[in-house]
Amino acid sequence: MTRYLVRRFLQALFVLWSAYTVCFAVLYLLPSDPVSLMVSAGSEQSMVDDAQVEALRAQYGLDRPVTVQYVDHLWHALRGDFGVSVQSGRDVTRVFLDVLPATLELAAAAFALALLLGLGLAYWGTYARRSWIRQTLLSIPPFWASLPTFWVGLMLVQLVSFRWGLLPATGNEGTRSLLLPAVTLALPTAAGIAQVFARSLRATETEHYITTAAAKGASPRRVHLRHSARNAALPALTLAGVWAGNLLAGSVVVETVFSRTGVGRTTATAVGTQDIPVVLGLVILSSLLFTVVNLAVDLTYPLLDPRILGSAATHPLKARAR
């Protein structure tokens, strides 16, 4: 088990490093640099002369060869220092710590909603008595999956906030303002979960253990819940873990549409202004979240599926769960 954890940890480090490096290379290749962007952002371009630009470049270390810059950035990043934002002059770590809670809140709400909607939709869509209900319910996920997130967000704002005035359209104030962005963000993930879950529910119908359960005299509900759903949930939950990472990417659009402060909006701004330290910090943050989420999924999977690690006794989490 420790070997497994060490191996996973090294893999995670490699993922972080390569994400950082690729991102650094891409930013370097862009035909502009942060200082000229910063300078041109001011209204009167003539106020800054070339000498000052060069001085600023030197201040941010942009005049050095690219390899030196890379090694220098990497070395600082390793020690948790991602530099200061070129735009705001604030510490990058500080910038993220300020906006991270809002985004985690949004992502967690969206994930819970996606699980609820996805699993529920697939379950009722598979087991509803009437075939027209089943067909209607099961045609919803592909429809959801095909809707662009920004459009859903705008429609929700338009209808729920402006026309009906039920919920606030923008802002970070409390649960009410969380609802619309969370729904917007949850829909694509819910659609994916529903499609995978419905498919595996159908697949369990021909399994022999379902016949065994029915032969015990179990009611259809019991068979569906305890035997079909328990087994069919495994693939859906694996994917759900992977998709949880996507929620972070989705937050870029959703936070912009709903004018929420958060990691997504900070990213959008930082990319727009080529704020290299902020973007690199964000890359590290999101790769970190991705790897942590995936590791968590891999470690919890044996709890759901006892077959994964062979004997129950060899898995520390399970041994504790007993």
Taking the least distance from each CB to another protein, the nearer of 1 and 155 is 1
Where does this chain touch another protein (CB under 8 A) — which range of 81-89, 118-126, 161-169, 228-236? 228-236
Distance of alpha carbon 276 from alpha carbon 282, whole angstroms: 10
Residue number with CB closer to another protein (61 or 306)? 306
Identity of the residue numbered 249:
A
DSSP state of 162: I
Report if residue 135 touches another protein, rule: CB under 8 A: no
CA dist 311 and 314 (Å) reads 6
Q: Which of 226, 259, 272, 319 binds another protein (CB under 8 A)?
A: 226
Euclidean distance between CA atoms 12 and 170, whole angstroms: 36
3-state secondary structure at position 84:
strand
Considering the rule CB under 8 A, would residue 48 count as an interface residue with another protein?
A: no
| 165 lies in the binding site for another protein (CB under 8 A) | no
- Total of residues contacting another protein (CB under 8 A): 29
| Contact characters 231-250, another protein, x per CB under 8 A | x--x----------------
In angstroms, the CA 104 to CA 210 distance is: 39
Q: How far is the CB of 253 from another protein (least distance, A)?
A: 37
Of 310, 317, 319, 321, the one binding another protein (CB under 8 A) is: 310
Contact 24, 73 (CB under 8 A): yes
Encoded amino acid at 87, one letter: Q
Considering the complex, what minimum distance in angstroms separates the CB of residue 138 from another protein?
17
Only segment of 241-249, 255-263, 284-292, 299-307 that touches another protein (CB under 8 A) = 299-307
Q: Is 216 in the site for another protein (CB under 8 A)?
A: yes
Q: Is 222 in the site for another protein (CB under 8 A)?
A: yes
Residue 63 binds another protein, judged by CB under 8 A: no
C-beta closer to another protein: residue 42 or 310: 310
Q: Is 108 a binder of another protein (CB under 8 A)?
A: no
Binding test (CB under 8 A) with another protein, winner from 94, 205, 242, 319: 205
Smaller CB distance to another protein: residue 48 or 225? 225
Best CA proximity match to 248, nearest among 294, 276, 287, 197: 287
**Helices 34-41 and 50-60, axial angle in degrees (round to 10):** 130
Question: Which SS3 state, helix, strand or coil, does residue 115 take?
Answer: helix
Site membership for another protein, residue 214 (CB under 8 A): yes
The answer to whether 129 contacts another protein (rule: CB under 8 A) is no
- The pair of structure tokens assigned to 27 is 């930013």
Distance CA(223)–CA(208), nearest Å, equals 12
Cβ atoms of 192 and 122 closer than 8 Å: no
The nearer residue to another protein, 179 or 304, going by C-beta atoms, is 304
Q: Single out the residue of 40, 158, 175, 211 in contact with another protein (rule: CB under 8 A).
A: 211
CB within 8 Å of 92: residues ≥ 6 apart: 82, 83, 84, 85, 277, 278, 281
Token code pair at residue 220: 């259809």
DSSP state of 45: G
Does residue number 208 form part of the binding site for another protein (CB under 8 A)? Answer: yes
User: Is residue 136 close enough to count as binding another protein by CB under 8 A?
Assistant: no
Q: Are 278 and 266 in contact (CB under 8 A)?
A: yes
- Does 227 engage in binding with another protein (CB under 8 A)? yes
What residues make contact with another protein under the rule CB under 8 A? 3, 205-209, 211-219, 222, 226-227, 230-231, 234, 304-307, 310-312, 314
